[in-house]
Structures are given as structure tokens and as C-alpha cells.
Amino acid sequence: MISFNQKTKVFTLSTKNTTYAFGILGDKLLTHIYWGKKLKNEINENWADDFVWRSHSAFDYGDYSTNYIPLEYPQYGGGDSRICAFSARFSDGSRVTKADFKSFEILDAKPDIEGLPSVYAENGDNVQTLVVTLHDDLKNLDILLYYSVFEDFDAITRSVKIINSGEKMQIRSVLSASVDFFGAGESDIIHLDGSWARERFVTRQKIEGGNISVESGTGVSSSYYNPFIAVCDRTTTELSGNAYGFGFVYSGNFVAGCEKNTYDTVRAYMGINPREFEWVLENGQSFSSPEVILAYSPEGLSGMSRIFHKIIRERVCKGKFRDIERYALINNWEATYFDISEEKIVNIAKTAKKIGIDTMVLDDGWFGNRVDDKTGLGDWVENPEILPNGIDGLCKKINDLGMNFGLWFEPEMVSPNSNLYKLHPDWIIHTKGRMPSKIRHQYTLDLSRKDVCDYVENAVGAILKKANIGYVKWDMNRSMSEVGSAFQVSERQGEVMHRYMLGLYSILKNLNAKFPNVLFEACASGGARFDCGILQFMPQVWTSDDTDAVERVKIQYGTSFIYPYASMGCHVSACPNHQLGRTTPFDMRCNVAIPGQFGFELDLNNCTEDELKTAKKAVEDYRRLGEVFHKGDLYRISSPFDCDVSVNEFVSEDKNTVLVCIYPKTSTVASKDEYLKLAGLDETAVYECNGKLYGGDYLMNKGIHYINDREYKSVILEFKKK
């Protein structure tokens, strides 16, 4: 999987279908050579000839200009004027780093990253890790580049460790991955942008000269941009062409983007956002960056996504709930909002049980003086006026119905009107002397402090010990502002946001260990923290607060560019929709939600008999088909951003079952005939759907006939191999 040719000075990293290669130029510079389809032959010793550049800007590398070479890990100050991966300020005020190749080792393992989530290996995995050490003689500084090759998953991960053996320094930027695509001027970048209730819409744009970047400075990965980008050829489609994906295993501030220089080299990069980051390293200290997952496919954007889906499902997510089918649940939020009582929750649960739902989740408003969104956060004690028998009493009533019980928390926040804030006003993220801003009537607790982390972990743990709670919805409803900590000294204030993430990860790791039978679902104003970092501890995320079926088609489509449907919380809500006021058929709402982690966000007691029958069948279909939706291969056949009819196809691993989800946006009286060509089938097999037989090759080359003659005429077609 990983080899080094001493003669050519080339490192070759090979997965099942891909090759990633870089070499040592002039015994100093790590130079990117190739990333793409697997090479059958070794790269020859003349590889460096591609990068010869005779000009006045050649600096001290003979015929090679650092401003022209595709560098593997560019540093600030060495002559490369492009965006750098690493920069620091040293105690003498200098900011130049020149860390050249020193040594390497190959490990038959995948090391963990201290304090951070990362992709992991299990027994039997074909995994190796290359560790390349770059050394700056003047500053006695080592930069360790980690490349882990997951051969069977067709993925490579990258991270960086900085070791300071010299003078005190301050890291200003430490990106986790940088890849230079030499001569790739005709390329596009794809990223996922949006806002609250409009997360992860797909944006594809031509990479022009200069820099295109997406980033978050909110303290979470955010709904504005997601920590994912793809670089692809201009001609790449969903089903064909080169696609290179970058996914960040981190839940805080990030930056990712592409810079195209005047020589048509495109530099793609990803890491912690340097805009809100500084880190002091004393002599003998080290810093480890979060990890980036690299995924290349010649089979288009859907092919790239399938690589991400598999490794996220199987080597990012952890714990009991990683591989098993999860709950079909009902949440009371849109049914009651804050107007809750034990009687109302039990009545909702009784009707839910009748249609086969197995989990009842009590949302916001059960604790402290939480009568609205202005009070109570931080006081995680039941309100006896709302729950006279406590959490345990309500939980027992739900359990007696034969259902699991789940509970909502927002543990990272505190309300000004709470006992916790009155006791510990210095526990919030704030800057001394400035009035902290209230967002959604609340403050952010300072998880860069261990005492605050201990409180959060103990408060949540105390509730989970009280009752047989099987599910937790972990929410976070505000971004950070006036960032600072009463605990950190002045020179370390730039570390607060990253230390916050380390604190959060520590809490979640400990709670996972103490409560292995609790399924944790992440939420952050909907989908504002949907990333590979949080998925290590919570294998599913509430995809968006927008539950409108038409909008959810777009949101889930964009989310699927990197994240599997197995990670998406998707619920059926009431109509008119509470966010948009739109009315859509009940069956469409079910069909849109079924491929994800399925549930309901309404009071089923207000549904008609026909709707309850549809809901019951949807629960049955979810359980029957979930294995294909959650572990099968996804092919995005038609985009809701480009077409009137959106089509997703899920193919089981053995290709015996094919599910085709069709979601129209509009309809016409005289609808044109459409043939939807499928993909990924056994072309020699015969498939049956609704009593009709089709050849696999026919379905892929001719397709299925679909007439869009009714508004919101959604359907899920099931094809079975004969």
C-alpha cells in the first residue's frame, strides 16, 4: 500500500483503485506528483522534469521555483507566495519556516490523534500509515505529516503534528491537507452552502485565477458552509469523470478552498480556520491538527460520495449503533413546542405505538424554569409542575407501552435567567470588560475549561442515570461571539475556540463510554454542526429545522455529497408546514423522510385515518428497506437543483435490491415522456418491479418510463432481482 523508491525518491500510496504519489525534490522539497486512477507501473526517475522552471524567481533550489512547484506541505516565507499550510511567529519576531525533508517511517497501523476524533482501523483492515518528518534546522522545529491509507475503503487520511524543540513560538496557521493539482486550470470546485433551514445547498463554480474559499468562524462547522469541498474536471458528472473530495473530521472553525495561480496549478486546502486561531508552543510541546479524509473517484461525483459514505459509516461512526438499524421515533417539538405535560406526551406516544413507532422523544421545556426560550438552560433538573413524576416516572410510562424513551438537552448553553449563570457568571465565553451578546437569549458555556466540562458531563450523566433513557438529542442553538475565556492567560486567548472543541469531544467520549446503550443524535439549530467530527460520537444528525418535504429534497441531496443517509435525521411533519406554510401530500412527506433515520415531528392524534394508514406503512417500509437505504450504494440520477424531477437510486451491496426515489417539484397537464436511466445494476440480471420485468442492461441504457402528471407525485420504486 505504501512504498518508497530510493532511486527515484518517490513515495507511492495505493488503495484498491487509486494512487497518490509525491517525491523529494533536491533532497529537500516534498513535491506532489500524482493523485488519480491506480497506476500499474512505478513513476520513473524523470518525474522532476515536469516542474523545471528557469526564471529569476527560482530562489535557492536551482532550476526549481517554489512558486511553481506543486508542494506537498507549503510553509510561509520560503518563496511560495500562494496560500500556505503552515505559518508561525517565533519569539524573535520572525515568521519564516523552512522545514525540509528529514526522514520517514511506515507503520502497519492507524494512530489515534490525541484529543480529536479521527478515522480508525479495525482488525483485518488493510491500513498503513506513512509519517514524513520535515525539519527546520534554525528553529529546531519538526513538522510530521501523517498519511493513512485505507486500501479497501479507497480513502486516504491526512493530518499534521508540530513538535517544538526550540524557542517559544506561536502557530498562526496549521492546515491539515494541501494538494497541488499541477496543470489543472480547467477545473470546478463544489461546496455546500446555506443558512439556517437551508443547509448544504450545492454550489459548483469554475475555478478562476485567485482564491475561492469557504469557512466558518462561528465556533461550529456551521450551516453557512460545510467542511467539505470537491475538485472535479469541468466535464465531470454525477456518474462519470474525475472527482476529488476533501472532508474534515472536525466540528469547529474551518477553512477550505482552492487557489489557482498564473501557471494553472490549483491548490486545494483544508484545516482549522486561521482567522480565529493561535496556539502557543513552548519548548518540548506539540500540537496535532484534525484529520482530512481524501476520496478520489473516476466514476463521477456519486462515485466520490460512495467512498465517503462507506468510510464514514464504518470507520468514523463508532459504538453500538454504528451497524444496527436504529429507531423509528416521534418527537413532540412541532406538536407542542413548550406547551408540554406528562399527559400530552403519553397520549402522543400511545398513538405512535399503534403505527409501529418504537421511540418517544421529549424535546425542550422539561427542566428548570424553562417555560420559553429565554430561561432555564444550564439547570438540568426536572420541573415538577410539568413532570410531577419526574423523568423516571414518565420514562416508565413510555417503557410500559413497549417503547424507548428519549430526551432533549442543550448542555453547551446557559440562560442568563438560570441558577447556573447566577452561581458562575464567569463560566461563559466572553471577553473581559465587554458585555456579552445574547443570541437566542443565551450564552455559550466555556468548554475550554475543565471545571465547566466536568459540570456538563455530570449534569447530563445524572439525568441519564435516573431513568431508562435510550436516546439523547444533543442541541446547540447559537454561534460564539466575544470569544475569550476567564480561565486562559492573555497569550492563549487565541486557543479558546479549539480548546472548546477539545473539551466538547472529551465530554462526548466520556458519555459514550458511560452510556453505551444511549443513541446520541446531534443538532445545532438544525444542521449547523453536520460534520465527520461530531459523527464519531453521535452517528446521526438532525439534518435541518426545515421539515418541508420539497426543501428537504434539496437539503438531503446536498448533504449526501459526503454524508450517508444513515447519518441523516429525517422526520415527517404537519401541514401547512411550520417553516414555509406549504402543504404537501402526506405520502410525499413520508417518501422524502424514509431513506434517512426516520421519524415524525407532529401529533399523530391530529392525523386522519388515511394518514395514519400511510404512516404505518411508512414505518414498515423503513424497517424493511432500511438496510438498502443505509448501507447500499447511492447514485444521484437527477438533481433537484437542475431538474423538475429529483431521483436518487439506492443499490444493495449484492445488487439484488434497487430502490428508486422520485421527487417531482412541479407538474404539467401534458407532461413530456421521461426515461430515467439507472446505474450500478447487474447488467446480466432481470429485475421485477410492480409485476413487470426489466433487464438490468435495459434499465441502465433505456431506463424507466416516468410521467410527471401530478404535483408532488413522489414514489419509491422497488426492483428485485429475479
Q: Is the peptide bond before 516 cis (omega within 30 degrees of 0)?
A: no
Judged against a pLDDT cut of 60, whether residue 565 lies above it is answered with yes
pLDDT band (50, 70, 90) for residue 49: confident
Q: How far is CA 68 from the centre of its chain?
A: 33
- What's the average model confidence in pLDDT over 311-331? 97
pLDDT band (50, 70, 90) for residue 71: very high
Q: How far is CA 537 from the centre of its chain?
A: 12
What is the distance between the alpha carbons of residues 412 and 447, in angstroms, rounded to a whole number? 8
Q: pLDDT (tens digit, 9 = 90+) per residue, 642-655?
A: 988 899 999 999 99
What is the distance between the alpha carbons of residues 437 and 482, in angstroms, rounded to a whole number? 7
Q: What is the pLDDT of residue 98?
A: 95
3 state SS of 237 = coil
Q: What is the pLDDT of residue 62?
A: 56
For the chain, give every residue range classified as CATH 3.20.20.70. Answer: 329-542
Q: Output the nine-digit C-alpha cell for 260.
A: 489557482
Terminal-to-terminal C-alpha distance of the chain: 39
DSSP string, 614-642: HHHHHHHHHHHHHHHHHHSEEEEEE-TTT
Catalytic residue among 180, 531, 545, 633: 545
Q: Output the nine-digit C-alpha cell for 204.
A: 459548483
Judged against a pLDDT cut of 50, whether residue 328 lies above it is answered with yes
3 state SS of 312 = helix
Instruction: Name the helix (H) or strand (E) containing 422.
Output: helix 419-423
Per-residue CA distances from 468 to 398, 403, 405, 507 (Å): 10, 11, 7, 20
- What's the average model confidence in pLDDT over 115-122? 98
Identify the burial level of 36 via C-beta atoms within 10 angstroms of its C-beta, where 0-12 means exposed, 13-18 middle and 19 or more buried.
middle
For the chain, give every residue range classified as CATH 2.60.40.1180. Answer: 637-721
Q: Name 664's Cβ contacts closer than 8 Å, sequence gap at least 6.
A: 644, 645, 646, 708, 711, 712, 713, 714
3 state SS of 171 = strand
Q: Positive or negative, the Cα torsion across 88, 35, 293, 104?
A: negative
Bigger pLDDT: 62 vs 444: 444
Q: Positive or negative, the Cα torsion across 529, 530, 533, 538?
A: positive
Cα angle 102, 106, 109; round to 5: 140
Contact 178, 255 (CB under 8 A): no
Looking at every residue in the chain, the average pLDDT score rounds to 95
What is the distance between the alpha carbons of residues 471 and 348, in angstroms, rounded to a whole number? 17
Q: What is the pLDDT of residue 18?
A: 98
Judged against a pLDDT cut of 80, whether residue 176 lies above it is answered with yes
What is the distance between the alpha carbons of residues 107 and 130, in angstroms, rounded to a whole number? 6
Q: pLDDT (tens digit, 9 = 90+) per residue, 133-157?
A: 999 999 999 999 999 999 999 999 9
Q: Positive or negative, the Cα torsion across 227, 233, 235, 240?
A: negative
Q: What is the pLDDT of residue 667?
A: 58
Q: Positive or negative, the Cα torsion across 68, 72, 78, 82?
A: positive
What is the distance between the alpha carbons of residues 236 and 253, in angstroms, rounded to a whole number? 30
Q: What are phi and psi of 94, to 5 degrees?
A: -75, 155
The conformation of residue 125, written as its DSSP 8-state character, comes to -
Q: pLDDT (tens digit, 9 = 90+) per residue, 353-386?
A: 999 999 999 999 999 999 999 999 999 999 999 9
What is the distance between the alpha carbons of residues 565 and 369, in angstroms, rounded to a whole number? 37
Q: Output the nine-digit C-alpha cell for 517.
A: 446503550
What is the distance between the alpha carbons of residues 689 and 681, in angstroms, rounded to a whole number? 14
Please give the torsion angle defined by the CA atoms of residues 85, 15, 294 and 149, in that order, rounded to the nearest 10 degrees.
-60
Contact 242, 36 (CB under 8 A): yes
How many CB atoms sit inside 10 A of residue 66's CB? Answer: 23
Contact 506, 456 (CB under 8 A): no
Give strand pairing partners of 90: 169
Q: Output the nine-digit C-alpha cell for 147.
A: 498519511
DSSP string, 437-448: PPBTTBEEB-TT
Judged against a pLDDT cut of 60, whether residue 713 lies above it is answered with yes
Q: Is 654 a catalytic residue?
A: no
Q: Positive or negative, the Cα torsion across 198, 199, 200, 206?
A: positive
Judged against a pLDDT cut of 60, whether residue 59 lies above it is answered with no
What is the distance between the alpha carbons of residues 248 and 698, in angstroms, rounded to a whole number? 39
Q: What is the pLDDT of residue 568?
A: 98
- What's the average model confidence in pLDDT over 201-225? 96
Has this prediction a pTM greater than 0.95? yes
What is the distance between the alpha carbons of residues 3 and 544, in angstroms, rounded to a whole number? 44
Judged against a pLDDT cut of 80, whether residue 166 lies above it is answered with yes
The superfamily in CATH containing domain 329-542 is Aldolase class I (3.20.20.70)
What is the distance between the alpha carbons of residues 98 and 657, in angstroms, rounded to a whole number? 55
The conformation of residue 39, written as its DSSP 8-state character, comes to P
Q: Which residue matches cell numbers 449534569?
A: 459
Q: What is the pLDDT of residue 262?
A: 86
Q: Output the nine-digit C-alpha cell for 478.
A: 447559537
Catalytic residue among 364, 475, 546, 633: 475
The percentage of the chain sitting over the pLDDT mark of 90, rounded to a whole number, equals 91
Contact 83, 269 (CB under 8 A): yes
Instruction: Name the helix (H) or strand (E) containing 552.
Output: helix 549-559
For the chain, give every residue range classified as CATH 2.70.98.60. Answer: 2-315
Per-residue CA distances from 707 to 409, 662, 667, 674 (Å): 45, 11, 9, 6
Q: pLDDT (tens digit, 9 = 90+) per residue, 534-549?
A: 999 999 999 999 999 9
CATH topology of domain 2-315: Beta-galactosidase; Chain A, domain 5 (2.70.98)
Please give the torsion angle defined by the CA atoms of residues 234, 235, 238 and 242, in that order, rounded to the nearest 10 degrees.
-80
Q: Is 682 a catalytic residue?
A: no
Burial 313-341 (b: 16+ CB within 10 A, else e): bbbbbbbebeeeebbbbbbbbbbbeeebe
Give me the amino acid identity at 258.
C
Q: What is the pLDDT of residue 58?
A: 47
CATH number for the segment(s) 637-721: 2.60.40.1180
What is the distance between the alpha carbons of residues 443 and 578, in angstroms, rounded to a whole number? 26
Contact 239, 299 (CB under 8 A): yes
Judged against a pLDDT cut of 60, whether residue 669 lies above it is answered with no
What is the distance between the alpha carbons of residues 554 and 561, in angstroms, rounded to a whole number? 11
